[in-house]
Chains A and B, each alone.
Chain A
Amino acid sequence: MVDLAQKFDVLVIGGGNAALCAAISARRSGASVLVLEGAPKFYRGGNTRHTRNMRCAHDAATEILTGPYTEQEFWDDLLRVTGGQTDEELARHMIRESKDILGWVVEQGVRWQPSLGGTLSLGRTNSFFLGGGRAMLNALYLTAEQIGIAIAYDAEVTDLRIEDGMFLSATLKQPIGGATEIRAATLVAAAGGFEANIEWLKQYWGEAADNFLIRGTPYNRGSILKTLLAKGVQEVGDPTQCHAVAIDARAPKFDGGIITRHDSVVFGIVVNKHAQRFYDEGEDIWPKRYAIWGRLVAAQPDQIAYIIFDSTVLNSFMPTLFPPIKADSIAELAGKFELDAAVLEKTVTEFNAAVRPGTFDHTILDDCRTEGLTPPKTHWARKIETPPYYAYPVRPGITFTYLGTRVNKQARMVMKDGKPSANMFAAGEIMAGNVLGKGYAAGIGMTIGSVFGRIAGREAAQNARN
């Protein structure tokens, strides 16, 4: 074990993609580096464990990418999903740097694979980690060990000593090797958002937050973010907002991961606990609808909803972890969820009556729609009339939060007075709100993590030398 009483050039708080990219980049720039991961070894890496791919710009097809994805196209996509809530200069800088990241992470041991089943729509824009996010992390950690980066697990930081925008030391909850106060010349904060902090979420969502499920790590409690903001770092991003998708209500409270997601909305109808429909299930195609149903369910009573479909579409979507609940009649199905049977029968009957004939194609905005129904189902509407009937109960699954620390192009934190911090940098979800103020595009969280992690590490190392 490394002596933690020594003063390090770079202290990285966090243990995910951004943290490891920062640590490796700082170490390769000649700095001594300590990584403090608050989670135990198995859970190291925060939400990176649950990721799968990264969105990088590239000018030509590669072995694993089917075609070019230009900087301009990436920018257009980002502009669209954020509705303009992004820092253009910073975002364009990130997109430019992302081109280089594709090769850089491979030099750090990460391996790519072509996109396969169920993800072909991302085959041109996104590079997939062979073996998934945890495999990517394992590779980064192996590299970090090999090049002499000190890593401590179960190393929760409870406080930071910061004076006039200058980081001095970090306080550990429990001493490691006798040390509780960690000193370093520079700090890279890469400790994620606060999505696993239900109390904090309640500030904005009230008691409804008790019914939220957290898709990723239970360790993203936002304590580093909170401390930084309390000690003069400028905030960025809407604190009240988080990214949420509809996931199975039977999923565990934390860390259920990718496999609890549902995308059968398009194949049926969605009702709330009063057995009433509440939104157009056919409004948009994946991935946009993927990203809206979490908030839609969050706005319903008790934050629960039910996706209802019939036997004709049972095999039309990816197999699910939790099997759908099955019944021979709509009334029986209602009984299994304590829904009012008469109301659900009426909802389904009215829906069926409103369905107009059309040619079903779930890959485009097809012409199967309802008429005279409120809310309408504007695409992919087909009658639910072939028993047995099925339902998935769904709840909001929180992926990440948008609130973060403001940074500049060096990934250097910006203080409330607008001045750059003397020696503090941030990377990953903790500063994602700078470029992603709203919405989401697949794989962009990893881009933010790797690009700003690499920049933060390099800059911190240089800062430590001066």
Chain B
Amino acid sequence: MIKLGVPSKGRLMDKTFQWFEKRGVTLMRTGSDREYAGAVDGIDGVALVLLSAGEVPRELAGGRIHLGVTGTDLIHDKLPLWEQQVEPMAEMGFGHADLVLAVPKAWIDVDLTDDLDAAAAAFRTDHGFRLRIATKYHRLVRDFLRDAGVADYALVDSQGATEGTVANETAEAIADITSSGDTLRANHLKILSDGLILASQATLWRSRVAALEDQDRVVLKELLDKLL
């Protein structure tokens, strides 16, 4: 049985279902609204696994699902060796979101990561602690800042309402996902000119480690032929 993992709710689930539908594979939830069970029509030998988009990377890397739909951002952040563990099969054209580094718009002296580094050094001298950047994408942001040569910052964990942390004075800058930039603007934040950390969209991934029986290989090929 080929296991296909897709997001279990919201717009991401609806768009995923539409994307498969267009390619002759019907995904549906079964049972009550609250029951996370699903079925697949249009091809035999494929089982639908409904789960949170954040869990798809782990399940792919563990080989518990063969195919999965989730964002590039989550794959890159959660799987350090993602190229060895998963293979991108198709970019699905929705769920566009960029992981960006943003600072208060009123910081007219900060436009590049170079400026952020200088501001961080001065901030540490003035305040006695490192300039705080709120994010939930710790590894991606740290790698990005190391490559950019930014020092004297500290990451603070923020699992939601990240744009509000600056006004609440729990962080001086943020790194978060944005699609339209509206929330950033509403919170008087601006994206650094070289502050694009990752451009992400919903993507269909194949696990490189999930075990395949002979019968599974036939089904997987048939499914991918329909989809790609």
* A and B physically associate: no
A residues with a Cβ closer than 8 A to B are: none
